[in-house]
Amino acid sequence: MDIQGIKQRFSIIGVSEELNRAIDIARQVAPTDLSVLITGESGTGKEVFPQIIHHFSARKHGQYIAVNCGAIPEGTIDSELFGHEKGSFTGAHESRQGYFEVANGGTIFLDEVAELPSSTQVRLLRVLESGEFLRVGSSKVHKTNVRVVAATNVNVPYAIQEGKFREDLYYRLNTVPIQIPPLRERSEDIPLLFRKFASDFADKYRMPPINLNDDARRMIVNYKWPGNIRQLKNITEQISIIEESRMVSAEILMRYLPDYSSIKLPALYDKKGFVDEQTFASEREILYKILFDMRNDVNELKKLVLDLMRSNPDNFEFKQEGAKVLNNLYSNSDSLLTPVSVQVETKPYVPNQVHIQDTDEIVEESLSLEDKEIEFIKKALEKHRGKRKIAANELGISERTLYRKIKEYNIE
């Protein structure tokens, strides 16, 4: 079956190259028994790919069991996965088979695998390497023949550095990696997904489907979608139910997009698309690059306005308005840009007697990264009235990192 047929079979919407690549890898690895690790942000639809792998494998007639490792308490996860013997712990009134025993000859999908406790990681590694496991409270070795597909939204290499995930288990699971792209990197797919969800909810609630006007369509394409497909689906459902108008404008859509108009500091993402708290210094470097790019952009704007003023030598009022625009622009630049003083004669206009003075002045400002960091932290805390959690989100760092920075810089 080709990629388009797989999309139809599993109701996958999208045309982006990254999505097609992920589907193609799943299709190619399916006939093998190799372990697969699926990575991607929460809400990107990782749970569909283990189903594709199972469906196109020789195990498709066997059991397919999906296990959310993060939803099972640490005290019972071993029993759920590997089973237990009667009397092995309080409440174990009879023996019980675990998922690895039940799914013998089939496929197990371990979602949120990075949430497994260290002791369970050791047991899982043994199953992957030898197919052997022990029930809780038993010394008898059991054998199983199970294909393992795992998924996580955690930056596993960073978890390994923190001692939260075993490196040998990572390499055993990551025999074939599949990276699911976030929705913000699939901008061409966003309108398609919106139409699909709108049509589904129209059928579900027996109402006409909602549509986007041009401004709203551009808005959903440019939005970052931190919750990915799950967030897009939820917002589409909310609008379908709440709004009476079936034509959604940008003003309507903005009510449902959290922090659409807020300006946030850039967050540095690694190649896997995950945020690392230890990259705050690199984030500042990115911020300064953006600020200097803004400076260049406004200087280009300055040149454009000056050129327009010079191209209309006989229009005195046009020159006056242009001078006002430039002076207003640079008076509010907060020392980011090189100021420009534009002066226009106020006496009656005589050709060739209007003088536009373009002077570049050097403004002394601190280029210390530490000073700028302190400044941003103070502004964020002042903006949110000392609420550290919200300020940390605004800065793109964790609350713990913000607390450490406040103590380090002795910020009141």
DSSP string, 217-259: HHHHHHS--TTHHHHHHHHHHHHHHH-S-SEE-HHHHHTTSTT
| Beta-carbon contacts of residue 31 (< 8 Å; ≥ 6 apart) | 56, 57, 58
Helices (H), 42-149: 48-55, 77-82, 99-102, 118-130
Closest CA to 84 of 69, 72, 99: 99
> Which strand ranges, in their side-by-side order, compose the sheet holding 36-39?
64-68, 107-111, 147-152, 36-39, 176-179
Closest CA to 345 of 320, 318, 324: 320
Per-domain residue ranges of the chain: 3-181, 184-254, 282-354, 367-408
Whether the Cβ atoms of residue 70 and residue 183 lie closer than 8 Å to each other = no
Whether the Cβ atoms of residue 30 and residue 9 lie closer than 8 Å to each other = no
The CATH class of the 367-408 domain is mainly alpha
Reading the block at residue 138, the tokens are: 């038993």
| Alpha-carbon distance values, 169 to 123, 126, 150, 157, 307 (Å) | 10, 9, 11, 12, 64
Q: What is the pLDDT of residue 79?
A: 94
* DSSP H or E run through 33: none
Q: What is the pLDDT of residue 47?
A: 95
Q: What is the pLDDT of residue 368?
A: 64
Closest CA to 12 of 47, 54, 56, 61: 47
Q: What is the pLDDT of residue 131?
A: 94
Q: Are strands 64-68 and 176-179 parallel, antiparallel or unpaired?
A: unpaired
**Where do the DSSP E strands lie in 98-200?**
107-111, 132-134, 141-143, 147-152, 176-179
Reading the block at residue 204, the tokens are: 């579900």
In terms of Cβ atoms closer than 10 Å to its own Cβ (0-12, 13-18, 19+), residue 276 is: middle
Whether the Cβ atoms of residue 56 and residue 110 lie closer than 8 Å to each other = no
Token pair 């594709």: residue? 52
Whether the Cβ atoms of residue 110 and residue 150 lie closer than 8 Å to each other = yes
Bridge partners of 211, per DSSP, are: 247
Whether the Cβ atoms of residue 299 and residue 338 lie closer than 8 Å to each other = yes
Reading the block at residue 367, the tokens are: 């280029």
| Alpha-carbon distance values, 203 to 196, 207, 242 (Å) | 11, 7, 16
| Beta-carbon contacts of residue 309 (< 8 Å; ≥ 6 apart) | 318, 319, 322, 323, 356
Whether the Cβ atoms of residue 239 and residue 201 lie closer than 8 Å to each other = no
Q: What is the pLDDT of residue 359?
A: 44
The CATH number of the structural domain formed by 3-181 is: 3.40.50.300
Closest CA to 336 of 297, 380, 285: 297
Longest distance between any two alpha carbons in the chain, whole Å? 104
Cα 402 from Cα 380, distance rounded (Å): 11
Cα 411 from Cα 335, distance rounded (Å): 23
CATH fold of 184-254 reads Helicase, Ruva Protein; domain 3 (1.10.8)
Whether the Cβ atoms of residue 260 and residue 254 lie closer than 8 Å to each other = yes
In tens digits, what is the pLDDT along the chain, a chain of 412 residues? Answer: 899 999 999 999 999 999 999 999 999 999 999 999 999 999 999 999 999 999 999 999 999 999 999 999 988 999 999 999 998 888 888 999 999 999 999 999 999 999 999 999 999 999 999 999 999 999 999 999 999 999 999 999 999 999 999 999 999 999 999 999 999 999 999 999 999 999 999 999 999 999 999 999 999 999 999 999 999 999 999 999 999 999 999 999 999 998 765 434 444 444 444 444 444 445 555 666 677 677 777 777 767 767 666 766 666 565 666 666 666 655 555 444 444 444 444 444 444 444 444 444 444 555 566 777 888 888 888 888 888 888 888 887 888 888 888 888 888 7
Whether the Cβ atoms of residue 73 and residue 116 lie closer than 8 Å to each other = no
Q: What is the pLDDT of residue 377?
A: 86
Q: What is the pLDDT of residue 330?
A: 57
pTM, entire model? 0.63
